[in-house]
Structure formats: C-alpha cells, structure tokens
Amino acid sequence: MTDVVSSAPGDVADRDGGVSRAQPHEHSRTGLSADALHRAIADHLAYSIARPPSVLTPEHYYRALALAVRDRMQQRWMATTQDLLHGPAKVTCYLSAEFLMGPQLGNNLLNLRIERQAREALAALGQDLDAILECEEEPGLGNGGLGRLAACYLDSMATLQRPSIGYGIRYEFGIFDQEIQDGWQVEKTDNWLVAGNPWEIDKPDASYLVNWGGRTEQYEDVAGNHRVRWIPRRVIKGVSYDTPIQGYGVNTCNTLTLWSARSVSSFALDAFNTGDFYKAVEDEVLSEKISKVLYPNDEPEAGKRLRLQQQYFFVSSSLQDILRIHTERARLPLSALPDKWAIQLNDTHPSIAVAELMRLLIDEHHMGWDEAWDITVATFAYTNHTLLPEALETWPLGIFGDSLPRHLEIIYEINDRFLEEVRDKFPGDTERERRMSLIGEDGGKSVRMAHLATVGSHAVNGVAALHSELLKASVLKDFYEMWPERFGNVTNGVTPRRFLALSNPGLRTLLDETVGDGWLTDLDQLRRLEPYAEDPAFRERWRDMKRANKSRLAEYVHASTGIELDPTWMFDVQVKRIHEYKRQHLNVLHIITLYNRLKRNPGFAIAPRAFIFGGKAAPGYFIAKRMIRLITAVGATVNNDPDVNRFMRVVFLPNFNVKNAHLIYPAANLSEQISTAGKEASGTGNMKFMINGALTIGTLDGANVEIREEAGPDNFFLFGLTVDEVEQLKADGYRPTAFVERDPELAEVLELIVDGTFTHGDTEVLRPLVDNLLHHDPFLVLADYRSYVDCQARVSAAWQDSDTWSRMSILNAARSGKFSSDRAIAEYSDEIWHVGAMPVTL
Ligand code: 26Q
C-alpha cells in the first residue's frame, strides 16, 4: 500500500519482512521483528500472565502473544483515533446488534504483516504458532450472515483507510455452542469470556446513562419554551469496551466499541442508605441482564421486551458517544453533524436510533423539530437484510409505550408529518396511507421498524441486486414510489484477508507465486488466473492444494464426529443457519434419492461424495431442529451401510462457527446455495465458497444471480424455479402432492423418511417434516426436487472429468473479485456515506 514506507520504524512490516530484521533499538512494545516479538512475549509471560515458566500452557502463550500484538496496534490505534476526533474527515459509524468477529490473533498478525515473525518468535520459545492460534476462543457475538457481514465491513473500512467506529453490544454470552446428542441439537452456553479477552480495553470512565420506562412530562423552561422531559422508571449505565480493528498493510486502526450494561451506583446507594442492601444488589443484577445474552433469530416472541431494551441500550449509548465526540472533542456545532458523521443502520435492529437522535437533539440540545429532522435524515442510512414478512421487526404498541414513552410520542409526530407528505403526493389514497404508516394496525397496533428506518434515512439499500429490486417491488414499494432517489443496491462482500489469505494458506501461496500478492487488497487481480485454467501443470497444483485442504477438514471431521472421509471424494457442503427457506431438507432428499438408487440396484455406482452439513437451529424452531435430526438420521444409516458407504457419507459437523469455517470453505468442491428464489437476501457463504474455488449448485436467489453472472453460466450449476415462477405457482395454488403423484422416485424418498428406515423404526419423529412438505410448505421444496436432482447428475458428470472440474474451479476463483467486501465498502463510501480515504501517519 502506497502510504506505508516499509523501512520506517513503527510502520506495518512489508511482506518480505523488510523492517523485521533484528534491530537492536526496536522497542519490545512496538518492534515488528521476530526478536522484538520474542522479547515482548517473554515480557508478557513474566509481567502480565505472571506464572513461573514451569506451569506455562499454550493458553498462556496465546495470551502473551495476543497482548504483544495488541501493543503493536496501540500506536496506530491512537493515531487513527486522534485523527478521527480532531481531523477534518467524515467518520462512518456502523450500528449493528451483532458483530461476528471470529478469532482475532491470526487476523491481526496477517493485517500487521508479522505472521512469519510471530512464528519465529514462538519457535524460539519452543511453541508452534498454529497450536497457539487454536487456543483462541472466538467471540460469537452474532447469529450468522448479518453479524459476519458487519465484521467483514470493519476489516474493509480499516483496510480502505476509512475512519470508522463499529458500535454494538458486548454480550456476555454469544451464540450458543451446539452439541449433537443422539442426533439432536443440544445448546450449551457460550462462555467466551471465562479466560478473559486480551483484545478489548475497558473504559469504565467512558460511560453513558440510558433511561428506561416511566413517563413524560411537559414543562416550560425559564425562557418560556414548551419542552418535554422523560422521567424514567430505571436508569442503566453503558460502559464501553474497545477493540482495535487493524487495516491490512496500513496504519489505520479503527475501533469497535461494544457496550456492557451496569447498574448506576447512585441508584444502588440510595437503596443501601435506606437499609435495603438486597434491593441494591437486585438492581445490579437486573441492569446487567441487558447485555447478558445474544438473542437467536427466528425466536418467536420470547423475552421481547429485553430485546427492545438491548437495542435501545446500545443505540442510545452510541449516539451519546457520537454527540459527545462531536461537540466536546471535535468542538463542532450540531448543525454540522451530517458533515462529520455517516451512521449506517445494520437492518432495523438499531432503527430506534432515528427517534433517539431526534430526542437527544430536541429534548437535550433544545433544537427545533425541522432542523433536528433534516439532520437526522441526512445522517442515517439503512440496510435491509430480509424480505420475509415474518422477519420484519415490529413492536407491540403496549410494550413500546411502556418502555420508551418519549420515543413513542416522537414516532407519532414523525408519522403525522410523514403521512401529511404522503397525502400531498398521493391525495385521497387512504389505503396507501394505511400501508405506509409507521404504526401497523393489523392484529393489534405496532411500531413498524422498517418504516421508521426508511423514513428516517436518506439512503436505503438491499444487499444483492435481486434483493434490492424485490425490495422496491414488494415490502418497500410505496416508499420507493415516494422517494425513488433514496433507493439503491450494495451487493454484499466478504473479506479476502480472513476468507482467503488466513484460512487458505495453500491457495494463498499458489496465488502469490502465480499472480503476485496484489489480490489481498484488490481481489479483481485474481482475473490474472484465468489463462492458467488451461495450463495442465497449474491445474495439477490446484488439485493438490484442494486435496490438502480436504485432508485438513477430514481430520477435523474425524476428531469431532468419528466419521472418516476420503479426501479424493467430492466434498459437497452446505453450511449456514438451519432454516426451512434455506432448504437443507431438499439437499437431504437428493441424498436419500442416491441411497435408494444404490440400494435398489446392486452394481449401480456413483461418483463418491461426502455430504457435509453444518449450522445452528434457533433453539425454539421446531421444524429446524427436526431438519438436523433428519440429517443425522440419514447420516447414521448411510455411513453404517456397506452397500452405500463406499459411495457416500453424510456428516453433520457440530457447532459451525467462524473458527471451523476457516477449515470448511477451502475444502469444498461443491457449494450448496439452494434457497427458494426470492427468500435469501444475498448470502455471503456463497461468496466465501467461490473465492476458494468451489463450484455452486444454486437457485437464482440473492447474490447467486451475480455469482453466476461473474463466473459465467457454464461454470455454475443452476436449477429451480425463478422468483416469477415461484410467484406464479403460489398464485395458481401450490399443490405439493401433485409433484409427488407425477414423480414415483420422490414418492419413495418421502416414504423412506416416515417408514422408520433412518430412525430405528420410529415412524413419528420425522413425520412433521414430511407433513409440512406435503401440506403447508411456503418454500416449495417438492416443486424444485426434480430440477435439483437432475442438476446434481450434471454436477457428478462434471466431477468425473477432473480437468473440466479444475478448469471451472479455477475460473470461479479467478472471477470472484466482485465479492470482496472492499468493493462493497468502496460503494457505500462513494454512494451513501460520501467519505474518502484518510491515510494515517504516525
Ligand atoms: C430480530 C428480532 C429479535 C431477535 C432476533 C432478531 C434477528 C437477529 C438476527 C433477526 C435477524 C438476524 C439476522 C439476519 C441475517 O443474518 N440475515 C442475513 O444477512 C446476510 C447479510 O446481508 C444476508 O447475506 C442473508 O441473506 C440474510 O439472511
């Protein structure tokens, strides 16, 4: 990267280690050489870990190295923060209820470009870097795609030298750990903080008070102005924990601020003084509940009020922080807020921010409504991640008014003014007014958060081209007709640092040797690989690389499930949250089809395949849990049957997370992206597979459409109904049984699921799944069955010609450049945030 002078002390090391030669003057807190790191680790072992050498474990070395690495980011971190506070640059704030960061050590070594030095330093201490990296417990502060997207975006914002802050919640317990017992998912609490978190710096002095509940009161101030004040029932304190986000090969080191809830000591003291010690402790427990646990998605109802409290808690803390920096540090007038800040709302989860900023500006800073509103709209932008009506967030008016009485008043006022605008533009269209209102009237009144986010933002985007079009044509159609200029698309992306360089060292080396290492910050450079698809020697190396990755995964699979996989087999992988719309059961119907063919025709052979699944089901999602049971049941039967286990094996890999994803994507030959067209907003796993050279079997859904465009239709296995055909079939009345009647093979497959073949004779446990498929399946699994199974036959044919397959695989990776999160962040920067690069000098 151009701004880095690789020979200047303190700068990020260059890739060939140019600044890392042992330099005696190098400080043990900042030096990037192996020698300085060695001294730093020894120092932290003695002074931070404080254990005698005889009792040191790999975990201690992990912690010491992590602290040494954090020290090395500190200087850059402070320089970046200093620029952000006092410099002229506009700052992007990414508000997200989830940040699925994954393990940090390897990523920070990569971005500081000191992997080799760290390996040498550890070796000198008798330790192996890979074993030490294994010790890290990942922070699983997200459910899946949306949370991981936020983490990829932080990496790209730092690498593109955009000053930015991620704001979220420091959940004490992240997404649950999944175990498989007797074929069922069992949830275990994720205790990621037990061993401490060396990456964060707590700032107990940087805290804000957040109100909750109570009522509002009107009053006249000394100047005779009419004002409102909120008299809360409770007050909670938000304490910040900051984590450095180091850009790759640059000095920019941004901040992720996560809020943790505490009780307000003065409250506790009041109680203490009146002798009620237990009341005070109780209050503390109640307050700290707010940041205790991450909510799973697809969890109907349960604990809704606490979820709203989480959202408001982190949004209010974040906005207060922004306003404090703006007015007290940068000393700018509030009118300049949209010039200094762009605030992106990651789905509707933080959309209460629209009302909160209005409240802060009007009630606390005494601004007039119109000016406050203009500032609010100019500052916020909203990203939508779903079209599923059941996933659109709404809050019952009762809960909302009890919890946030002042915000409800503000929302009513926003709504009144907004609906007047609607009437102006569409006179007499009361039906449209009803549809667009921020208050929903169907089945008990509720606040519609997607409407609030849209009305309160100057830009609204979907996360893939198809998704953004559908957004304008369906859930936000009326809003698009009102403000077409607000709507755009930014197709998701993933960071090639973590999902290629870090997780696929074999491919990284091959790429570096073939096309150079420019792809790390410019993924389009992978295009230079295209000619090598025709080079037999290169194809051989490509296959060897894949083979090694598959051996690595096979070892992990064996260790975690006991199942043996042959790395010469095709690895057919579906990893993602378990959900009906993602249709893991369609995948299983294909597996059972092959099983049935093999059982019926002795002598019949197929190209051997390992079917690998991974993903968590929301704990309360009855059908999703049975989908896991279906996979494990079919797996147990297939894997233990000598007639078939020479041709196929089925694995359910427990506890899919970022850490094991590093092993999974690089080892895949086939990527399963088989959601019902129109249901998957984008998908990002699909991109991680493509970058690592997997071929996709997929529907025309989400970003699959663009993946196919980039790869070329010949290098993509397409099947299934299109969005229009799905609509049409539903309009005509979908009758699943009709598909079964005309397809005897499908009928047999469904029969096998309920006749006890896979369940030791139990004919009931999987029946709800089949009943759903036959009688109420909004995701049209049976309608796509034949097309899918036929397409899988084409996949097998292609696999059998290894040169054909390797060619297609190389071309997929070569054409994956669009799916870098750097491209996505460049688009957000240009089209929505209007921010540019701001290099940091030390
Ligand atoms: C909402 C209310 C109450 C409790 C939980 C939630 C909740 C939490 C998380 C709702 C949704 C989520 C996560 C959604 C998600 O991950 N969506 C995915 O976002 C990806 C990034 O844009 C897309 O690629 C996927 O298509 C989309 O499904």
The residues spanned by each domain of the chain are: 496-825
pLDDT band at 4 (very low <50, low <70, confident <90, very high): very low
Is 539 in the active site? no
pLDDT in tens, 594-643: 999 999 998 999 999 999 999 999 999 999 999 999 999 999 999 999 99
621 alpha carbon to ligand 1 midpoint, in Å?
15
Give the residue from 642, 582, 579, 569 showing the smallest Cα distance to 612: 569
Please tell me the distance from the alpha carbon of residue 526 to that of residue 690, in angstroms, as a whole number: 12
What is the Cα–Cα distance from 719 to 704, expressed in whole angstroms? 11
State CA 26 to chain mean position distance.
38
Catalytic residue among 252, 684, 696, 699: 684
Hey, CA dihedral for 10, 14, 15, 19, is it positive or negative?
Answer: negative
CA-wise closest residue to 817 among 502, 505, 525: 525
Q: Strands across the sheet with 717-718, in order? A: 648-653, 609-614, 570-575, 670-673, 695-698, 717-718
* Main-chain dihedrals φ then ψ at residue 669, nearest 5 degrees: -95, -40
Pocket test for ligand 1, best of 94, 98, 146 (most atoms within 8 A of CB): 146
From the CA of 775, how far away is ligand 1's center (Å)? Answer: 27
Is residue 684 annotated as part of the catalytic site, yes or no? Answer: yes
The whole-number pLDDT of residue 287 equals 86
Handedness of CA 590, 593, 595, 601 (dihedral sign): negative
Phi-psi label, residue 152: left if phi above 0, alpha if psi -120 to 50, beta otherwise: alpha
Catalytic annotation present for 472: no
**DSSP assignment string, 481-517:** HH-GGGEEE----B-HIIIIIIT-HHHHHHHHHHH-S
Render the burial of 397-407: b for 16+ CB within 10 Å, e for the rest: beebbbbbbbb
What percent of the chain is predicted at pLDDT more than 70?
Answer: 95
pLDDT at 10: 41
CA-to-CA distance for 262 and 560, rounded, in angstroms? 38
Give yes or no for residue 311 having a pLDDT over 80: yes
Pocket flag, ligand 1, residue 463 (CB < 6 Å):
yes
Tell me how far apart the alpha carbons of residues 354 and 377 are, in angstroms, rounded to a whole number.
8
Q: What is the pLDDT of residues 514-541, one digit of tens each?
A: 999 999 999 999 999 999 999 999 999 9
Residue type, 534: E
Contact 565, 653 (CB under 8 A): no
CB-CB contact of 556 with 284 (8 Å)? no
Q: Which of 297, 705, 706 is the pocket-test mutation for ligand 1 (most atoms within 8 Å of CB)?
A: 297
How much of the chain, in percent, has pLDDT values that exceed 90? 91
Residue 684 beta carbon below 6 angstroms from any ligand 1 atom? yes
What is the Å distance from ligand 1's center to 589 Cα?
26
Nearest to 573 by CA among 550, 597, 545: 550
Ligand 1 pocket residue status of 678, Cβ below 6 Å:
no
pLDDT reported for residue 829: 98
**Among residues 162, 688, 708, 815, which one is catalytic?**
688
Mutate which of 149, 314, 347, 385 for ligand 1? The one with the most ligand atoms within 8 Å of its CB, which is 385
Using most ligand atoms within 8 A of CB, pick from 152, 386, 656 the residue to mutate for ligand 1. 386
Smallest CA-to-CA distance from 587 within 487, 729, 697, 485 is with 697
> Could you tell me the two tokens for 85?
């506070």
Kindly report, residue by residue over 192-237, the tens digit of the pLDDT: 999 999 999 998 888 999 999 999 999 999 999 999 999 999 999 9
Report the Cα 641 to chain-centroid distance in Å: 38
* Confidence at residue 7, expressed as pLDDT on a 0 to 100 scale: 34
Beta-carbon contacts of 818 under 8 Å, excluding residues fewer than 6 positions away, are 491, 493, 523, 524, 706, 710
State whether the beta carbon of 393 lies less than 6 angstroms from ligand 1: yes
C-alpha distances (whole Å) from 598 to each of 65, 464, 609, 649, 739 are: 53, 40, 13, 13, 23
Q: Using a 6 Å cutoff on CB, does residue 146 contact ligand 1?
A: yes
Q: 220 pairs with which residues across the strands?
A: 226
Indicate the residue type of 776: H
Closest CA to 355 of 324, 395, 398, 305: 395
pLDDT at 71: 97
**688 assigned to active site:** yes
Ordered alpha helix ranges (H), 640-735: 658-664, 685-691, 704-711, 723-732
> At residue 297, does pLDDT exceed 90?
no
203 catalytic? Reply is no
Per residue in 138-158, pLDDT (tens digit) is 999 999 999 999 999 999 999
What is the spatial distance between Cα 770 and Cα 765, in angstroms, rounded to a whole number?
Answer: 10
**Which atom from ligand 1 is nearest to the alpha carbon of 299?**
4
Question: Does the Cβ of 451 fall within 6 Å of ligand 1?
Answer: no
Query: What DSSP letter does each residue of 111-143 carry, written as one string?
Result: HHT-HHHHHHHHHHTT--HHHHHHTPPP--BS-
Q: Is 280 left (phi over 0), alpha (psi -120 to 50) or beta?
A: alpha
Question: What is the 375 CA–ligand 1 centroid distance (Å)?
Answer: 28
- String of DSSP letters for 139-164: --BS-SHHHHHHHHHHHHHHHTT--E
Distance of CA 158 from the midpoint of ligand 1 (Å) = 24
Q: Residue 17 has what pLDDT?
A: 41
CA of 385 to the centre of ligand 1 (A): 6
The reply to whether ligand 1 has any atom less than 6 angstroms from the CB of 681 is yes
Q: How sure is the predictor about 9, in pLDDT bands with cuts at 50, 70 and 90?
A: very low
3-state secondary structure string across 419-455: HHHHHHHCCCCHHHHHHHCCEECCCCCEEEHHHHHHH
Query: What atom in ligand 1 is closest to the CA of residue 148?
Result: 21
| CA dihedral for 91, 97, 102, 103, sign (positive or negative) | positive
C-alpha 237 chain-centroid distance: 27
Q: Whose CA is nearest to atom 21 of ligand 1?
A: 146
**59-116 per-position pLDDT tens digit:** 999 999 999 999 999 999 999 999 999 989 999 999 999 999 999 999 999 999 999 9
State the Cα–Cα distance between residues 21 and 38, nearest whole angstrom. 13
Provide the token pair at 539: 């194809």
Structure-token match 């604990």, residue found: 303
Spell out the alpha helix ranges (H) of 2-49: 34-44
pLDDT value at 752 more than 90: yes
pLDDT of residue 271: 53
* Pairwise CA distance, residues 253 & 245, whole Å: 5
Parallel, antiparallel, or unpaired for β 184-188 and 648-653? unpaired
Ligand 1 atom, smallest distance to 703 CA:
24
Who contacts 732 (Cβ-Cβ below 8 Å, separation ≥6)? none
How many residues in total does the chain contain? 842
Residue 236, H or E segment:
strand 234-246
Name the 3-class secondary structure at 346.
strand
Amino acid at 132: I
Neighbours of 266 (CB within 10 A): 10
What band does 443 get if pLDDT is binned at 50, 70 and 90?
confident
Clarify whether 577 is annotated catalytic.
yes
Q: In this predicted model, what pLDDT tens digit does every residue of 236-290 receive, in sequence order?
A: 999 999 999 999 999 999 999 999 999 986 554 555 565 666 676 777 778 889 9
Name every residue whose Cβ is closer than 8 Å to that of residue 624 and which is 6 or more positions away in sequence. 298, 578, 579, 580, 617, 618
> How far apart, in Å, are the Cα atoms of 498 and each of 51, 508, 640, 656?
32, 11, 36, 16
CATH of 496-825, one of 3.40.50.2000, 3.30.465.10, 3.10.129.10, 3.40.630.10: 3.40.50.2000
CA-to-CA distance for 51 and 45, rounded, in angstroms? 7
Question: By three-state DSSP, how is residue 739 classified?
Answer: helix
Phi, psi of 391 (to 5 degrees): -95, -5
Residue 73 Cα distances to 17, 63, 88, 252, 254, angstroms? 17, 15, 23, 9, 10
Strand partners, 355: none
Closest CA to 379 of 338, 327, 319: 338
pLDDT at 2 over 80: no
